[in-house]
Chain A
């Protein structure tokens, strides 16, 4: 059952996942984003008259952004709720809700747990494994910010030059990396049990159907809700298949 490397420990993840310090950090992330938004809004208000942007335009832009975010935000919240049992509210809020995404963070946590010989959610998923997985996904998520911090000033200077990086490589390499990673992570789930196979297949089929309907019927909200609908349907089929 336990791989030799996995440190022993309690499997009561939520006991440490809801530690007050973690809630404090979530409040910090929320606070930073609020402060950033306020500073940016003030900067826009100052620059707006010079580019013929009226206060009405600013209000319209803010409202447009807010209204168009309702669907995607609720979809993300639904995915986050499905992951609460695995990571606890603070980690889900700061990682899947903000900064990261379900696709990246769940994959990263699975990979990190794997290096300890553990699997997310089963009896090998101890408090220590959770801490290592949370660490790995957070530091990994921070790398996007570090890349943004380094690249944005560089790109401002050498805009056109960097855009002209070999377009074939820019098209092929990220596609190969992402599909390769998700295919490998997904297929690794299959030998675990019949229920894993059913869950994976249902999730993939529902997503394919959502994307197909979004395209043929022109319903773009199906694209935003695709992940949430797929996860909920797949978990429902897992519940039926496992008979628990």
Chain B
């Protein structure tokens, strides 16, 4: 945070008012977004008569939590110093923070000559995120919402079928490479690949029952081994944390 002692009282008051408004309404809108976003799946699960047992829901959620639980906490922690409190409430609802919202904020700050971390910089990034959100909502509504169903109807059934069957490996190949490159941690990468390969190609064929929790085992195993075999040289430990960002 920047020093506030030298700024005139009027500036402080205006920014305090800004902080009050954005944290109160940021919180309120985020809670609203959260409720609306889970209302749909809750409706399907409980009202659409699909014959789903509550235990199946908890097992599925537990498997997702075991894989991504760490990231839920770490991501807000690492973005906070860059975004500041107001933009946190925008960023975690709009998504694509590192490849869309942060560049947008940075370019806006450059264009009006505001340094990041200053109050002008903070306001500029909030406005830039609003601009990015407007473009993002419009392009989603147009290309996916409006034209999406038409696109589905004109795409040949064979292509549609191939997409349905192979979209998972098509996404994961790219995402794995992206994660490896942006983390820049060769040692952790080798450990993660070895753990995952051993698990998928050696352990699972022998113990198929573990398939349900395999990702959780891979995450836990990699975290423990990477921590145990971490580089103890102070130089590499001093490097700032740069986790991959999912949101």
Q: Are A103 and B246 in contact (CB under 8 A)?
A: yes
When each residue 79-113 of chain A gets 1 if its CB lies under 8 Å from chain B and 0 otherwise, what string results?
A: 11111111001111111011111111011101110
The number of chain A residues touching the other chain, given as a range, is: 35 or more
B-side contacts of A79, CB under 8 Å = 171
Given A84-B152, A128-B51, A187-B201, A33 contacting B44 (CB threshold 8 A)? no
Tell me the smallest distance from the CB of A125 to a CB of chain B, in Å. 8
Q: Are A115 and B15 in contact (CB under 8 A)?
A: no
Given A29-B33, A32-B29, A176-B226, A50 contacting B14 (CB threshold 8 A)? yes
When each residue 76-94 of chain B gets 1 if its CB lies under 8 Å from chain A and 0 otherwise, what string results?
A: 1110110001101110111
B-side contacts of A67, CB under 8 Å = 107, 131, 135
Q: Are B56 and A116 in contact (CB under 8 A)?
A: yes
Q: Are A65 and B68 in contact (CB under 8 A)?
A: no
Given A32-B29, A146-B34, A40 contacting B172 (CB threshold 8 A)? no
| In the complex, B57 has a CB within 8 A of chain A | yes
B-side contacts of A70, CB under 8 Å = 135, 139
Given A43-B22, A50-B10, A51-B120, A195 contacting B167 (CB threshold 8 A)? no
Given A60-B108, A66-B135, A106-B171, A77 contacting B140 (CB threshold 8 A)? yes
Q: Are B104 and A189 in contact (CB under 8 A)?
A: no
Tell me the smallest distance from the CB of A217 to a CB of chain B, in Å. 16
Q: Are A132 and B137 in contact (CB under 8 A)?
A: no
Our pick among B1, B136, B145, B179 for the contact of A26 (Cβ within 8 Å) is B145
Chain B CB within 10 Å, residue with most, of A58, A140, A169, A195: A140
Our pick among A43, A199, A206 for the contact of B166 (Cβ within 8 Å) is A199
Give the size of the chain B interface in residues (CB under 8 angstroms): 169
Q: Are A179 and B192 in contact (CB under 8 A)?
A: yes
Tell me the smallest distance from the CB of A118 to a CB of chain B, in Å. 11
| In the complex, A63 has a CB within 8 A of chain B | yes
Our pick among B71, B72, B191, B239 for the contact of A171 (Cβ within 8 Å) is B239
Q: Are B119 and A51 in contact (CB under 8 A)?
A: yes
When each residue 4-45 of chain B gets 1 if its CB lies under 8 Å from chain A and 0 otherwise, what string results?
A: 000000110111011001110111011111101111111111
How far does the alpha carbon of A63 sit from the alpha carbon of B52 in the complex, in Å? Answer: 47
| In the complex, A153 has a CB within 8 A of chain B | yes
Q: Are B139 and A77 in contact (CB under 8 A)?
A: yes
Q: Are B174 and A231 in contact (CB under 8 A)?
A: yes
A-side contacts of B63, CB under 8 Å = 111-112, 114-115, 136
Question: CB within 8 Å of A: which of B121-140?
Answer: 123-137, 139-140
Tell me the smallest distance from the CB of A160 to a CB of chain B, in Å. 8
| In the complex, A218 has a CB within 8 A of chain B | no
Question: CB within 8 Å of B: which of A120-139?
Answer: 120-122, 127-128, 130-139
Q: Are A204 and B174 in contact (CB under 8 A)?
A: yes
Q: Are A131 and B178 in contact (CB under 8 A)?
A: no
Q: Are A101 and B57 in contact (CB under 8 A)?
A: no
B-side contacts of A116, CB under 8 Å = 56, 60
A-side contacts of B78, CB under 8 Å = 170, 174
B-side contacts of A122, CB under 8 Å = 165
When each residue 228-244 of chain A gets 1 if its CB lies under 8 Å from chain B and 0 otherwise, what string results?
A: 00110011001100101
Given A65-B132, A155-B80, A196 contacting B169 (CB threshold 8 A)? yes
14 further contact pairs, Cβ within 8 A, besides A33-B93, A65-B127, A82-B170: A25-B36, A33-B29, A50-B14, A80-B143, A85-B160, A98-B140, A114-B63, A138-B37, A140-B65, A144-B72, A151-B76, A170-B241, A176-B227, A190-B169
The 9 closest A-B pairs by CB, nearest first: A65-B128, A65-B131, A203-B173, A180-B222, A50-B14, A184-B218, A183-B196, A230-B174, A174-B243
